[in-house]
């Protein structure tokens, strides 16, 4: 059984942010990484579309290819966290693919509405993390795509992340 490694996960998450940041810059956007506690309430990256700021939360999940799920953190037992707390406009969820990685892009309001919709059988709510105090929403990747919640899919064939 693999052991959790906070430092490695932090390094992998930073690589995912760098990949998304590079992708946005390659597409011609002015973009930069958000730093410090105050800025990071808005996500990991800010880019500008028609002079309007767009804030992006980047998630990376090494296990998503194996499980077929995307996992969204909602609370930590003390209050909202993850997608329920971020002030980002978009979430880019990076997952290993057969070749490189893929990024699923979500508009945060549409994603939150989908996950919190009462009676939505596509979403499984689970507890996990430290002392199972975190509330997590699990959604099959194929399902969230077919339910048209993903707004874009980005391919990163040369992404240097663990697979």
Report yes or no on 161 lying in a domain.
no
Which residues sit opposite 126 in a β-bridge? 136
Mark the ranges of the chain whose per-residue pLDDT is less than 50: 1, 162-163
Distance CA 80, CA 98 (A): 34
Which domain range does residue 58 map to? Answer: 6-156
DSSP 8-state assignment for residue 161 = S
pLDDT of amino acid 157: 79
pLDDT of amino acid 160: 56
State whether residue 59 is helix, strand or coil. strand
Dihedral sign for Cα atoms in the order 106, 61, 77, 39: negative
38-44 long-range contacts, Cβ below 8 Å, gap at least 24?
41/85, 41/86, 41/87, 42/86, 42/87, 42/88, 43/86, 43/87, 43/88, 43/89, 43/90, 44/17, 44/20, 44/88
Report yes or no on 27 lying in a domain.
yes
pLDDT of amino acid 162: 46
State whether residue 100 is helix, strand or coil. coil
The tally of domains found in the chain comes to 1
Task: Report yes or no: 120 and 99 within 8 Å, Cβ to Cβ.
Answer: no
Dihedral sign for Cα atoms in the order 53, 112, 157, 3: positive
pLDDT of amino acid 139: 96
Report yes or no on 94 lying in a domain.
yes
Report yes or no on 163 lying in a domain.
no
Report yes or no on 75 lying in a domain.
yes
Domain CATH number, residue 138: 3.40.1350
pLDDT of amino acid 133: 81
Model pLDDT for residues 3-44, shown as the tens digit of each residue: 556 777 778 888 999 999 999 999 999 999 999 989 999 999
């Amino acid at each position: 059984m693999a052991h959790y490694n906070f430092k490695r996960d932090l390094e992998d998450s930073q690589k995912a942010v760098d990949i998304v940041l590079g992708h946005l810059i390659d597409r011609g956007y002015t973009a930069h990484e958000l730093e410090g506690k105050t800025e990071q309430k808005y996500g990991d990256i800010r880019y500008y579309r028609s002079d309007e700021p767009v804030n992006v939360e980047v998630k990376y999940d090494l296990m998503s290819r194996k499980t077929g799920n995307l996992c969204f953190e909602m609370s930590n037992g003390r209050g909202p966290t993850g997608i329920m707390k971020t002030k980002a406009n978009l979430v880019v969820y990076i997952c290993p693919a057969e070749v490189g990685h893929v990024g699923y892009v979500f508009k945060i309001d549409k994603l939150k509405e989908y996950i919190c919709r009462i009676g939505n059988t596509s979403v499984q709510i689970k507890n996990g993390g430290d002392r199972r105090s975190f509330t997590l929403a699990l959604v099959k990747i194929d399902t969230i795509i077919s339910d048209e919640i993903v707004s874009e899919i980005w391919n990163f064939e040369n992404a240097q992340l663990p697979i």
